[in-house]
Chain A
Amino acid sequence: MSGWALSALIALPIAGAVAVAAVPRHRPGAARAVGFAAAGLAFLLAAWVWTAFRPGQSGLQFEERAAWVPAAGIGYHLGVDGLSVSLTALVALLVPLAIVASADQVKERGRGFVLTLLLLEAGLLGTFLAQDLVLFYVFWEAMLIPMYFLIALWGGPARRGAAIKFLLYTLSGSVLMLLAIIAVYLQGGRVLGTPTFDLPALLARPLGVSPAVEALLFGAFAVAFAIKMPVWPLHTWLPDAYAEAPPVVTVLLAGLMAKAGAYGLLRFCLPLFPDAVRAWGPLLASLGVAGILYGGAVAWAQGDLRRLLAYGSLSHMGFILLGIFALDVASVQGSVLQMINHGVSTGALFVLAGMLIGRTGQARTDAYGGLAAATPALAAVTLIVVASSLALPGTNGFVGEFLILLGAFQTHPVHAVLATIGVVFSAAYLLAFVGRIFHGPLRPELRGLPDLRPREYAVLAPLIAIIFWVGFVPGPLLDRSEATVRALLKPPATSTPIPAMASRPPRAPSVRRPAAPPNRDAVDPGPVVRP
């Protein structure tokens, strides 16, 4: 296993940012080119890591270790496993696309924008790769500052308030997590003999704290991650931030940053606090369902394009939360997959929203109508992305949501039923979204609006490709996460046998299997749970 790839992956965007800073200020095009080159290289590297990643192993791969602050037990420890390998690739994919999209959408200070975007990418990649609690926290918070500036400097009219609200909201959650991290470290020192912030080392033995303390520590971690996702009712920063950020940045907020929260729950909460997870999991699953229904209902009522999508995103994140805390292999697998899907589909939706707003300057849905006549390609692409977001069979969203619901039915049937109702909501607001904007008579002032330009095709094409690829061949993604997810749920809460899993012939993880994964068999009777 190579010991440089992940460090290089984090270093490339930082080097790119430095290179962008060296470009003269009045040449934003050159700055974008340099930034795209750096982000593109990072993507190639991430794609190579993704391909070279060996499925079937639950442990870390591409591991790198170095002493960082040995006096305090802080190490520089990077690695990918099934939870993070695809997310890393997603980050590396979306950022260069965002840089390309910013060419049309960011008019002022293009150089600073690209530079800040690259710093954000480094923070995001580090968050998904770090295996040391302090290192993770450093990246986790370091990405807040670029994001604050991206919203505050390039956002809409109410950007300052939205940016500071986002920053303070997320920070107040994560500082309590910092205290919990230190507490875990001190307690780990008592259990292990040597205090360390290294996650695998801390997981070697149970923490051995009382249930009350464990619940408290779990709560501190979970609140930090829940704010980032966000989970209802900690979502109130979301509509402002999503609506005020420049559309390209909203893509990253919804597509990537939200995933960091869900990823944190999987990476830290589940293994570190297994008992508290079992005790409080049902509550969190309920919050997930509440988010699905609340987000869906509120999205339906929104007149603002991006607020509609923002609440829709909240609703979809509810599925991911439900899947995680259903604590079933199928549901967690579904959540891991859905994290990628949500990143692609919601990311694409916000890219499209940005294209619409960039064309008309209007953010309200009632300013549009009948646009399909003027911009047929844009309308077609939107319909595909909406189908994916709706989880129609054949698209990526279907596989993810189906697995989540399948798993949740085993452990939390009531939650699953309610969540299925949420699918109806998403149909309602998403189809309303498409209907209000693209259907009906074409508004006269929208006549002559340009259709998709080559650069916009280039941004959308990879996303559409992934939507169908994952929809038809989810195997590569699911294979990569399966071993890790199984290991994660090892002393599992799933004491009841899982019919869907039990009916399937067991297989050796080391054998390379043909493209069609077993999960696809389970996926086929899908329409049963469709409304």
Chain B
Amino acid sequence: MTDHMNRRDLLKLAGMGVAVFVSGTTLRAGEAQQKQDESFYFVQLSDTHWGFNGPAINPDSQGTLRKAVAAVNGLDEQPDFVVFTGDLTQTTDDRKIRRDRMAEFRDIVSELKVKTVRFMAGEHDASLDRGEAYQEFFGDLHYTFDHNGVHFIVLDNVSDPMAAVGEKQLQWLQSDLKQMQSDARIVVLTHRPLFDLAPDWDWATRDGEAVIDVLMQHPNVTVLYGHIHQEHHHMTGHITHHSAKSLMWALPAPGSQPKKAQIPWNPAEPYKGLGFRNIEAVVRKAQYGIEELPISKG
């Protein structure tokens, strides 16, 4: 059994998590694959909504995030880093309470053994003040970082209350991608889906099509996002989009009922629909198949 299988099994035992592979080459359970030197994995947590209070939805709203931190810390092999894809906190009109929640959230996740933690905002964190408080605590709303040959791009589609990326950020994205080789491995991290999953449920990005058009020029792009509080997989052309579960409440499948509504807590199946995921990145080095040919056959 390979290392990544161990991790997957552990997450399965914890009742949470799925594996999503973000390389151009996909590993699947049962395939005998040699782990590459530059392979790594990271953990995605999303929609923790710290500060939410609703016993009928999650009676353990004060404990779920801490349990997730403990679960990540309990992984036998620690991830290279952890990423939170937005809605770290539950929104509030009160500026002080907003900051208190962000401080509490930051204190709790500081208990992660992994010290490289990447954050991004959700609309609950950033839409009411256009990201002012979020930036005080967690830094830039959009940025990039690189890890073992994979280029990560964090896009902000929440600080504008209209759910748009905006022309300025779009130009920034284009400039960043121009510096990449055409076959670069690119992972986009964002909060809302970039495609129109369910616009009537606010499950879309107003100018997401323009973002996807820019990304389409690169063959190896994967998008990881949150916001919809469930696992969902979708393709726009060759680009794959994977949403993560929440760590506070679950939501129904897109369009499965007339009105979006939080799924009530089920005492018979506590924490059902909640969880986090690990992502295995298999970064392959260039391989060349060489065939020698004669001048003439015979």
A and B: bona fide binding partners: no
Residues of B within 8 A of A (CB): none
Residues of A within 8 A of B (CB): none
